Amino acid sequence: MEYPNYAPGALRFFDAPAQQRTIAESHVQPNVINGAAYRLNLIGCGMIGREHMRVATLLGKAVVNGVFDTSVESLEIASKDFSSYANTELVIYGSLEEACFDESVDALLICTPNFTHFEILQTAIKSGKALFLEKPMATDLFEAATVVALAQKYSNCIQLGMQYRYKSQYSEAFHLIKSMQVLGDVKTISMSEYRPPFLDKVNQWNKFNEKSGGTLVEKCCHYFDLINMMAQARPVRVFASGGQAVNFKDFSYQGKASDIDDNAFVIIEYDNGIRANFTLNMFCPELYEELIVVGSSGRITASEKSSFVDGRVSKATLVLENDAEAGEQIFDLTYADLVERSGHHGATFFEHMALIDRLDGKLTDSATPLQGLWALIVASAAQESIVSGAPTIIDDYITDLNLEDALK
């Protein structure tokens, strides 16, 4: 079964001419409550939940109505943060059911720790509301396949939180490569992330494979989603090497030692002949991401350099070299400052625009549960390869895990 094909023009790209890429002021409507068409509830208001609350308010096309979280500390931080930029009262729900079944609310955003996503979804989906489910949608493939089955029968939409699709450099790269065919036929895909270690989370859940699903699932499903879409084919074989070299080697929580990997090299072969590789290093002082796609007639390098230090400016760049142009063309794709600072370098802002489009009944470029499952298959196959020391054959892997029906 083919990985769902890329639809030309489906991924968001810029309408402005090269070197003039800005966000129209009409897109940013902070605190425009009376004009907001939808009401949102957040399930989980930790770091990513608070980011969604800020971005939704900044966009101004939906109102953050209320939140539910089992962590009192997270609720206190979120309430204080929300009061600093919003002009509405935040409803604090006493139970998950109250938050999910409030009839005044149009959509639910599930932003809890990874290992809780699947269980919470079982309640949220009974609401019949539009659902936004943060990545990864589950921590194991059986649960992820079950989400796909539920989504196929669900009368409303389920959007996955794969916001890296909306990073400016990747959106533009997809447009140039897939819609404009500036590289000819894609042959190789190379992606990398160099960054500091995992940040602190509630009860340090992201330091343990059992809770997070593993680094390549938790952190890297974004990248495998992008690689799969660029390849437009079914992965055949995955080989990986990785481990825990530096981060949290002496860290324990409640008597349990951290076992999370902090580096990996992954090679993916696809059934259309495309080869891809992914490099991860999580003990670097700053953040650098890079996508290099080489085709039969050129190369694109899309990169992002940013900092975890307040006050340092990030920059997104795309470099195009192909047979049609002499030399290289360099494009600064950094989002406007207000959007750039809103979360994940502006990607979450456009992710919310896609969510509003979904609520309006429009087709969007947001990630589907099936695409999320394919990203998790590659990520999990890579983690399996790290453990076994051998390549993971995807067809065998899918058969062994009884995933065939979910991929039909």
How deeply is 98 buried, as exposed, middle or buried, from its count of CB atoms within 10 A (0-12, 13-18, 19+)?
A: middle
Q: Domain coordinates of the chain in residue numbers?
A: 25-163, 164-343+368-407
Share of the chain above pLDDT 90, in %: 85
Q: What is the pLDDT of residues 156-204, one digit of tens each?
A: 999 999 999 999 999 999 999 999 999 999 999 999 999 999 999 999 9
Per CATH, the number for 164-343+368-407 is 3.30.360.10
Dist CA 287 CA 7 (whole Å): 31
Domain 164-343+368-407 in the same topology as domain 25-163 = no
Structure tokens at 295: 């085709």
The full DSSP string for 255-280 is TEE-----EEEEEEEETTS-EEEEEE
Sign of the alpha-carbon dihedral angle for 215, 220, 222, 228: negative
Dist CA 403 CA 397 (whole Å): 9
Sign of the alpha-carbon dihedral angle for 165, 367, 197, 80: positive
The arrangement of strands across the sheet holding 130-134 comes to: 91-92, 62-68, 38-43, 107-110, 130-134, 158-161
Residue 361 has pLDDT above 70, yes or no: yes
Average pLDDT score, the chain: 90
Cα–chain center distance at 310? 23
Instruction: For residue 324, give the amino acid letter.
Output: A
Q: Which CATH superfamily is domain 25-163 in?
A: NAD(P)-binding Rossmann-like Domain (3.40.50.720)
- Which among 221, 253, 275 has a CA at the least distance from the CA of 383? 221
Sign of the alpha-carbon dihedral angle for 211, 213, 218, 222: negative
Dist CA 63 CA 33 (whole Å): 6
CA distances from 187 to 101, 221, 299, 380 (A): 48, 22, 10, 24
CA distances from 38 to 31, 114, 151, 152, 195 (A): 13, 26, 22, 24, 36
Q: What is the pLDDT of residues 378-395, one digit of tens each?
A: 999 999 999 999 999 999
Q: Which of 18-22, 182-186, 252-256, 371-375 has the lowest mean pLDDT?
A: 18-22
CA distances from 245 to 250, 263, 340 (A): 11, 7, 32
Query: Computed over its alpha carbons, how large is the radius of gyration of the chain?
Result: 21
Q: How many helices (H) and strands (E) does the chain have?
A: 13, 17
Q: What is the pLDDT of residues 43-54, one digit of tens each?
A: 999 999 999 999
The arrangement of strands across the sheet holding 186-194 comes to: 329-332, 315-322, 298-306, 287-295, 186-194, 275-281, 263-270, 235-243, 392-393
pLDDT for the residue 8? 32
Q: Which is it for strands 275-281 and 287-295: parallel, antiparallel or unpaired? A: unpaired
